[in-house]
Structures are given as structure tokens and as C-alpha cells.
Amino acid sequence: MDRSVNAPAVSPDLITKAVYYAGSDEVKEGEPFVYDTGHGTAGNYDGYRHNKVVRPTASGQTFAGVATRNYPAADPGNGRLIEIALPGSRGVRIRMNAAIDQGDRALFCYKADVGSKLWKETATAVSSGVIGMAVIRQTIGGAGLAQADLLEAAYGAGQSES
């Protein structure tokens, strides 16, 4: 643990996990991932379902978290372990597709015509199915990384809002 005087005040409060990502492409910090819950035979227990992540391909998938740092393209392309910040993490950097203000909520949605993105809650993408959600803690003027708290659950993703 960092023992400097201000470390607890300025460091993010991350819950991290090493997961297997089979892709060979570059991974950027703050990119969202989902668990590969459809792996194997549906009636059989399979550890891949909670230890392997993929890029989102449909709405309603199980949000795993966001990459904690950049990873170069894998060579020879056999996949690798990556570290993700799990829902419940605070101060994590997420990759936004547009400007957003402190205090806004960002919805992680998948839409067939644009792929996976984080949107401001008021965006029309909400109707496409929410996979994850974050509360923004830093105002940014355009697309890029923003500090945020990842929420444990998101409405519209099989859960109900209370």
C-alpha cells in the first residue's frame, strides 16, 4: 500500500480482477467488457462464464467492467489476461464518446448500428438496452477519458429500478 500522506485521498478506490480476453486487438483504458455467459453447454457449469470477457455484441449482456489500462495488440494472437475495474469501483477512468458533465449518469449501451458506447443518460441510445451504468465525477469537453464511479447494477439490463 502507498504510505504517502495524501495517497488515500487522491487514489481511485478500485475493485479489480484479472480476466481472460481472447481477442488479439488493442485494448484501451476505460473500454467496457462483458462476461462470456454463453460459453459452453448451457446446462453445465463452466468457469469461463465468470472469468472470460468479450467485447459487447448485443444488449442485455452481463457487464463485467472496464479495462484499467492500455494493452497492445497480442502477438501471436492467443489472447491474454487483462485487468478490469469491476462495478462498485470508484474513481475509475471510463472512455466516453462525447462531452459529459460531473454528476451526470452514463449508460453503457449496445446498439447494432454503432456498437458499444457509453452515453449520457438522456441519449436516445437508452432504448437499445442498458448493460452498465456509471456516475461521472469529472466534466470533459469532448470524447475521451472521464473519472467515474461504476454502479453495481443498471436498469434496463434485466434488473428493475427501485
Q: What mean pLDDT is predicted for residues 88-101?
A: 87
**Percentage of the chain exceeding pLDDT 70:** 75
Q: Is the pLDDT of residue 117 over 80?
A: no
**What is the three-class DSSP state of 9?**
helix
Q: What is the side-by-side order of every strand in the sheet holding 144-150?
A: 90-96, 144-150, 130-136, 105-111, 115-120
Class of domain 7-150: mainly beta
Q: Which of 26, 33, 105 is nearest to 65 (CA)?
A: 33
Spatial separation of the C-alpha atoms in residues 6 and 25, rounded to whole Å: 37
For cell 502477438, name the residue: 75
Strands (E), 26-79: 32-35, 52-54, 63-67
Single pTM value for the model: 0.80
pLDDT value of position 160 = 35
Quick: pLDDT tens for 3-25: 666 666 777 889 999 999 988 89
Q: What mean pLDDT is predicted for residues 137-161?
A: 73
101 pLDDT tier (thresholds 50, 70, 90): confident
Q: What mean pLDDT is predicted for residues 75-92?
A: 89
CB–CB of 84/16 below 8 Å? yes
pLDDT value of position 118 = 63
Q: Is the pLDDT of residue 159 over 50?
A: no
